[in-house]
Amino acid sequence: MKTVGGLNKIYQTANVGLMTTIVLLMITISAISPYFMTWYNMEVLSMGFVQEAIMALGMTVVIISGGIDLSVGSVLVFTAIVVGKLLNANVSIPAAIAITLLVAGSIGFLNALAIIRLRAHPFIVTLGSMTIVRGLAFVFTEGKPVTDFPEEFSFFGQGYFLYIPFPVFLFILLAILFSFLLRKNRFFHQIYFIGSNKKSAHLCGMDVQLCIYVIYILSALLAGIAGIITASQYISANATFGIDAELRVITAVIIGGASLSGGVGSIERTVLGVIFLAVVANALVQGGVPTYWEKVIYGGMLICAVLLEKYLYTKSTGIRETWKDFLLGGSNS
């Protein structure tokens, strides 16, 4: 069993450092660009990363459980197309959203089913579903954009609630809800124990399989919500949406302190990771850095975060796992 308490103490200290880094970074950018701290730019900053932020909530729960979900970016684009096709077929907005979320949840259910029944690693299963769902997006659209949505639908991606962009307001509500569930709800709190050691959790009477179903369905539902927001924000849907979204989501969660080996993480830390990446992305725009450098920077940050996590894990537990066991949770299966 992992010494989760020791890991949590180290990660809490690390996140104080992350908060300090965010503040210093914002101060530095503000000194360079007078436009950074304006209300307009803060809105651009938050809206530019809100889809990944919503998906990061589900990814946090998945990673705490010791799993991974690489299909979220594909679910985002697929659900954007599904809701668009339904609206074009004159389906009412509430019905179109409900059907789209049902489709998203079904993808999560199939991911969980394959993980449980085939006893396959989540990385392999969700990598396969990522490819299949992305392919279906191209098949259904033939590479053409889906447009002509009702004007009322634009509220979900462009509207405001209490002077806050609706997608940001929705993210705040979802973050509060998931934070409460992970800390206070018995069912969700046991995900930490499952992520720490599935065999022990099963022996303690926890319904590990039910948890896996719930976790992957929730992850897909949140990706579906992000897809609906994306379609509403751009008043269109395209099979090229969501490229590398899973990379940004996983990076935010890992930078926030969640452990790839499971059992460690929190919504609050993930929010910090999301804010950090959003500030970095905005800083690149403010600095006029070409957009294709973003992938290089995100990939580098993900590698550094994983290396740091492995170092902290080894220092805290004294266990020297191989990279295969560490990344694939070999000791936790």
Parent domain of 181:
4-320
User: Is residue 148 assigned to a domain?
Assistant: yes
Angle at 287 between CA 284 and CA 288, to 5 degrees: 85
Per DSSP, 237 falls in state B
Q: Which two tokens stand for residue 253?
A: 């969660």
In total, how many domains does the chain have? 1
Note whether residue 100 is domain-resident: yes
Q: CATH number for the domain including 186?
A: 1.10.3470
Domain membership of residue 27 (yes or no) is: yes
| pTM, full prediction | 0.88
Would residue 332 count as lying in a domain?
no
Give domain status of residue 309, yes or no: yes
Q: What is the pLDDT along the chain (333 residues), one digit of tens a residue?
A: 444 455 555 555 556 777 888 888 888 888 888 888 888 888 888 898 899 999 999 999 999 999 999 999 999 999 999 999 999 999 999 999 999 999 999 999 999 999 999 989 999 999 999 999 999 999 999 888 998 899 999 999 999 998 899 999 999 999 999 999 999 999 999 999 998 888 888 888 889 999 999 999 999 999 999 999 999 999 999 988 888 899 889 989 988 888 888 888 899 989 999 998 898 888 887 777 777 777 788 778 777 777 766 666 566 655 555 555 555 554 454
28 located within any domain = yes
The answer to the question of residue 177 being in a domain is yes
How would you classify the pairing of strands 160-161 and 164-165?
antiparallel
Here the contacts of 83-92 (C-beta below 8 Å, separation 24 or greater) are: 83/227, 83/228, 83/231, 83/237, 84/146, 84/147, 84/149, 84/231, 84/236, 84/237, 85/140, 85/146, 87/149, 87/150, 87/153, 88/146, 88/148, 88/149
Looking at the DSSP assignment, which residues form a beta bridge with residue 161? Answer: 164
